[in-house]
Amino acid sequence: GIDPEGCDIVLDGEARRIVFAGPVTTPAEARKELVRLVAEARARR
C-alpha cells in the first residue's frame, strides 16, 4: 500500500516499508518521489 509517508512492498512473503523524504499528497508527487528513490538506488550499485 501507499500513503503520504511512504509505501509498503512485499516480495516472497517479506514486507518492507519505504519511507518517503517528505509527505506526498498527490499521485504526481508520489510518482516523483518513487522516481527519485529508483535513481538513488541505481546510483548505489
| Beta pairing, strands 14-19 & 6-11 | antiparallel
17 falls in which pLDDT band (50, 70, 90)? very high
So what's the pLDDT on residue 39? 98
pTM of the predicted model, to two decimals? 0.82
Mean pLDDT (whole number) for 15-42: 97
The set of cell numbers assigned to 25 is 499528497
CB 6 within 8 A of CB 18: yes
User: Measured between alpha carbons, how far is 8 from 15 in angstroms, rounded to an integer?
Assistant: 7
